[in-house]
A and B are shown apart, each in its own frame.
Chain A
Amino acid sequence: MIDKVNLLPNYHVLHDSEWPMLMLGKNVLGDYLIASFLEETEDLGQLNYFHVFANDSILLAFLKGEIAYLDVMKQAEAIFLVAKSYNYTVLNVEKIAFADLSKDMLPLKSSFFPKSIPSVFLDLEKRISLNKMMAEHPKKQLTKEHGQQIPAFH
């Protein structure tokens, strides 16, 4: 489960502060996910993050500034609460439903992406257009790389 939820090391920090606030990357299955900083628990020496799996169109809409991060979480396929040590080693993973999140754990309504879209995310756009083409022309075969789906988490 940790492998499916964790970011591969080549993730991008979209917004940085003392600790990375927003990261975009892929898991071992090639699915995009966003990791967002929730809190630091100094007594335990832990950083708590949300790892959020959403479909490509939603992620792209967020990166383009069309929707807030709160909306990404609302529409997410899966949300995980991930406890990490200060060196980002994953200590614990817990799947959590959006409806079970307390109000003070949620991003604000105005949590829009603070920067312009980096070129690396053009890959997302490519995937979306390929998926659209697949839907319109189902007989066309797409490679595995192009057709990744969000995995089922149990």
Chain B
Amino acid sequence: MDNCKKQLILSILKTNVANDIKYFLHKMNFTNIQNDTPSHCNCLEKATVTLDKQFARHIYKPNVRPQDFYSKWEKWQNNNAFPLDFDYNDCKRVCGNKGISVHNWENASKEIIINEYLNNFKITGKAQNSVLIFRLRQNAGAVVYTPQSTNAYHYDFYKDDDFSLDSIDDLEIISLKNYLEEDEQNDR
């Protein structure tokens, strides 16, 4: 196959993928994300539907629960406990707290992600002792790439209004205890 044909096929494939993403985004509802968000903030501007990537998220117990996918915004709202100094016009802060932190789980990122979660676990000794690996299903929601200074694999995940644990797939739970030295493992 000559190069021109390859380029053409690749371009068709890319267009199809882009159309799929638009189709899935169009099918989803993000009222919960858009409600209470200032009109000048568009949290979903760079959102994509990412079905081919695996993601990791710390969880508090060795089993996944709906609460593991509550955003900070939801927790503040449900408990009427927004921070007193919260700046509702700060789009980065508003959107960052409406999204849920996840990390792209791939061979190059595994060690970095585990170390980051392990640092938390070592301090608490209790909370955030497990890591959930998962894939998003078609109507789960959308992600925005939000790299951080210490972790280039960070994404904000915005849930579709009807998100539930059925919206994620290929689940695997990793116990961080497995990454501790033997004597520390016996301590827990």
Contacts and interface: CB of A to CB of B under 8 A. Distances in A.
The majority secondary structure among interface residues of chain A is loop
A98 to B, nearest CB: 13
Which 3 A-B pairs give the minimum distances between C-beta atoms?
Answer: A45-B79, A86-B81, A87-B81
B58 interface: yes
B127 A37 contact: yes
Interface stretch (A16-24, A116-124, A142-150): A16-24
Contact of B125 (A40, A87, A111): A111
Interface residues of B, number: 31
Contacts of B126: 38-39, 104-105
B104 interface: no
Contacts of B125: 104-108, 111
13 contacts: A15-B123, A17-B58, A17-B120, A36-B123, A38-B124, A38-B126, A45-B78, A45-B81, A85-B81, A86-B76, A108-B122, A109-B184, A111-B123
Interface in B72-87: 72, 75-76, 78-79, 81-85
Interface of B: 58, 60, 67, 70, 72, 75-76, 78-79, 81-85, 101, 119-128, 180-181, 183-184, 187-188
A31 B60 CA distance: 32
Given A87-B76, A87-B82, A17 B128 contact: yes
